[in-house]
Amino acid sequence: MSDYAHEFARSTDDPEGFWLDAARDVDWISPPTAALDDTAAPIYRWFPGASLNTSVNALDRHVAAGRGDQDALIWDSAMTGTVKRYTYRQLLDEVARFAGVLTAQGVAAGDRVVIYMPMIPEAAIAMLACARIGAVHSVVFGGFAAPELATRIDDAEPVALVTASGGLEPGRVIEYLPLVASAIEKAAITPRTVIVKNRDEVPGSAADHDGWLDWDAEVAGAAPAEPAAVAATDPLYILYTSGTTGKPKGVVRDNGGHAVALTWSMKNVYGISPGEVWWTASDVGWVVGHSYIVYGPLLVGATTVMYEGKPVGTPDAGAFWRVISDHGVVALFTAPTAIRAVRKADPDAAELAKYDVSSLRTLFAAGERLDPDTFTWASKVLGVPVVDHWWQTETGWAIVANLCGLEPMPIKAGSPTVPVPGYRVEILDAAGAPVAAGGEGNIVVRLPLPPGTLAGLWRDEARFRASYLNTFDGYYLTGDSGYIDSDGYVFVLGRSDDVINVAGHRLSTGAIEAVVAAHPAVAECAVVGIHDDLKGQRPSGYVVLKAGVDIDGDTLRTELVKRVRDEIGAVATFRDVTVVDALPKTRSGKILRKTMRQIVDGEEYAVPSTIEDPAVLDALIDQLGH
């Protein structure tokens, strides 16, 4: 039996023993004597009765083990040209002092703290400081509109809000303090404390607002806080899913299961050892940033890179390669959209040749589907494994992955590979019946989910059950569709609501996108189902061309239509192809397919608060004549 098969079998046949073994890599105050509490199934809790401190596991224990002088965090800001390094000892001191600031302001275990910060070290410090005293942090993506911040304040009911004067993006400065002031005015709940980290590059400071506190002044006079003992089942953080409308959906992550799962994943999914340099090119406002900028790498004693910048434009398409070269990065984790942006700007990878990236041994991608063409390009130019893996805000770590630290498996383009130990992934049809190998259906995970996944939704168990547990009895509903092939590889085709009905035939827009994206002229694409008077719906494609490509629109359309007909069939009735300059996306890199469909169909739509660049959407509307 292979290493993977052995570990997966252990996780399913003896989950109690498997996860108690994994828990030995975590330092406990009161060690667990049992792994799973299933007394309230289908609501499960991991490591009942145990206690620990997540901040201690991320910092103190590494200092105590003699790693205090190793770099813990490297902040690389392409926006300011600044690099700042924190050893484990230095980061522990910063975290303990800011935890002291929070304690002095009356923040106690169980209290919520909203963190609204750009990609600066203080964002991670604030998160870890909350964990140190047992407070529950809720990070809101920096730059979110005031109404979105206000709804999250009302839902989390924080006693404190930690922010900065603003964020920096290519060509613009985003002032946070007017947004924070507006959000507090709109919210029904008023945090009693607001703490501001001033940035010289951004106007505004705490002094401009009555009663607000200056980060640096408070830290200068603070006494370091000692770590609190926290129950494994107590919440570590609340993270609101992006793109929510109406009442936000606050995913709750616990302390114990989170520490165990992320520690296990860093070693077994990513193959990262203490002292190695790991870089996740994301944002702390998203789950990827929580798990793999801040907590995961620090839990295993690695060095984590926090990057403030873009894959292109800061200053060019060589930005990622520079960071890898400068800091000796062994593994990069980013979204496929970032790779596509680099490829679009520099299809021949000329910028890559300027840097020594020999330290890099793996490129990990997640957050959206890694299309085969992007996979092939990255594999070719980097000469290292390009590893897709699939997970969600709700799960907090990978559901399906190629386990590079356990047993790397052959890569199949378009598949994130196999279920991770602890996740029993199945495919069900609409009636809840199993689907045969190769057949498309709803991707579900048999309960209980492993440690580290969502413990529920903040103060809304009914919605938790309705959203994830009630559709198929005994299963977690991922909301994605796909299939498992005869080798056990999982293929994720897209959200279940991205399946369109063309004259009674159910077709995945993700499958059509894969065909369109494989065309050598296409940098990226989106396929949406639009209204058709005869067939109900039909697929419509929107493509962005690679830089320097010159192809006639009619020729491109003819070639793409033929490709889809050859690979999917005439039933797809794919005939609409529109070349666009750019696709509208969220700040996390997801294409706004629903909004695009609403625009094309002439429906009312709201511009999502998560949109990265509203000008891209405006340009698309003008081009489409809506």
CATH number at residue 595: 3.30.300.30
Strand order, beta sheet including 331-334: 82-87, 71-77, 303-308, 277-280, 331-334, 362-365, 386-388
Looking at the domain assignment, is residue 290 inside a domain? yes
Last residue of a domain, one of 448, 482, 516: 482
Q: What is the arithmetic mean of pLDDT over 456-483?
A: 95
Total length of the chain: 626
According to the model, what pLDDT value does residue 362 have?
Answer: 98
Q: Which pLDDT score, from 0 to 100, does residue 49 have?
A: 98
**pLDDT recorded at residue 1:** 65
Phi, psi of 340 (to 5 degrees): -65, -35
Report residue 258 as tokens: 């989170």
Is residue 350, in this structure, part of any structural domain at all? no
User: Is the pLDDT at 516 greater than 50, yes or no?
Assistant: yes
CB 204 within 8 A of CB 175: yes
pLDDT at 244: 37
Asked whether residue 132 falls in the same domain as residue 9, the answer is: yes
512 in the same domain as 457: no
Please check whether residues 520 and 395 belong to one and the same domain. no
With respect to residue 371, please indicate whether it lies within any of the assigned structural domains. Answer: no
* Average pLDDT value for residue range 579-603: 85
Average pLDDT of the residues in 466-491: 95
Taking each helix axis from N to C end, the angle separating 509-517 and 372-382, rounded to the nearest 10 degrees, works out to 40
Query: What is the per-residue pLDDT for 143?
Result: 74
Q: How many structural domains does the chain have?
A: 2
Maximum Cα–Cα distance across the chain: 71
The whole-number pLDDT of residue 451 equals 98
DSSP assignment letter at 126: H
In a domain, 276, yes or no: yes
C-alpha gyration radius of the chain: 24
Residue 552 burial class via C-beta count within 10 angstroms: exposed 0-12, middle 13-18, buried 19 and up: exposed
pLDDT tens sequence across 285-307? 989 999 999 999 999 999 999 99
More confident position, 535 or 381 = 381
Residue 315: is the preceding peptide bond cis (ω within 30°)? yes
- The answer to whether residue 245 scores a pLDDT higher than 50 is no
Say if CB 252 and CB 463 are below 8 A apart.
Answer: no
Q: Which of 130-144, 348-362, 598-612 has the highest mean pLDDT?
A: 348-362
433 and 510 fall within a common domain? no
CB count in 10 Å sphere of residue 172: 7
The CATH number given to whatever domain includes residue 184 is 3.40.50.12780
Last residue of a domain, one of 429, 449, 482: 482
Mean pLDDT, to the nearest integer, of 92-106? Answer: 98
Rounded Cα gap, residues 415 and 514, in angstroms? 12
Distances in Å between the Cα of 347 and the Cα atoms of 301, 309, 539 are 36, 20, 28
pLDDT of residue 505: 55
Q: Which of 76-85, 310-319, 433-442, 527-536 has the lowest mean pLDDT?
A: 527-536
265 and 136 in a single domain? The answer is yes
Tokens of 171: 């060509």
- Whether 198 has a pLDDT exceeding 80, the answer reads yes
Distance CA 324, CA 335 (A): 16
pLDDT over threshold 80, residue 626: no
Average pLDDT of span 459-483: 95
On whether residue 45 sits in a domain, the answer given is: yes
* Residue 492, SS3 per DSSP: strand
Q: Which of 482, 513, 537 is the last residue of a domain?
A: 482
145 CB neighbour count, 10 Å cutoff: 15
- Three-state DSSP string of 420-482: CCCCEEEEECCCCCECCCCCCEEEEEECCCCCCCCCEECCCHHHHHHHHHCCCCCEEEEEEEE
pLDDT digit string, tens, across residues 390-416: 999 999 999 999 999 999 999 998 899
Q: Are residues 409 and 535 in the same domain?
A: no
Residue keyed to tokens 């990878």 = 349
Question: Is 324 among the domain residues?
Answer: no
User: From start to end of 505-598, where are the E strands?
Assistant: 505-508, 522-532, 536-545, 576-579
Residue 601's domain spans which residues? 504-624
Quote the pLDDT of residue 115: 98
The C-alpha atoms of residue 107 and residue 96 are separated, in whole angstroms, by: 14
Q: Would you say residue 597 has pLDDT above 90?
A: no
- The single-letter code of the amino acid at 69 is D
> Do 567 and 468 reside in the same domain of the chain?
no
- What's the chain's average pLDDT? 93
Query: What does the alpha-carbon distance between residue 579 and residue 541 come to, in Å, rounded to a whole number?
Result: 9
pLDDT at 506 over 70: no
CB-based contact 132:55 (threshold 8 Å) = yes
Asked if 471 and 508 sit in the same domain, the reply is no
pLDDT at 4 over 60: yes
| Parallel, antiparallel or unpaired: strands 235-240 and 230-231 | unpaired
Cα 192 to Cα 156: distance, rounded to the nearest angstrom: 14
157 and 299, same domain (yes or no): yes
Express as a percent the part of the chain with pLDDT over 90: 77
pTM attached to this predicted model: 0.85
536 and 594 part of one domain? yes
Residue 496 lies in a domain: no
Q: Mark whether 450 and 513 lie in a shared domain.
A: no
Residue 228 counted as domain residue: yes
More confident: 607 or 625: 607
Tokens of 276: 């190695």
Does one domain contain both 112 and 258?
yes
Q: What is the pLDDT of residues 531-576, one digit of tens each?
A: 876 667 889 999 999 999 999 989 999 999 998 887 776 767 899 9
Burial of 69 (0-12, 13-18, 19+ CB in 10 A): exposed
pLDDT in tens, 52-73: 999 999 999 999 999 999 999 9
The pLDDT score that the predictor gives to residue 503 is 53
Q: What pLDDT score does 310 carry? A: 94
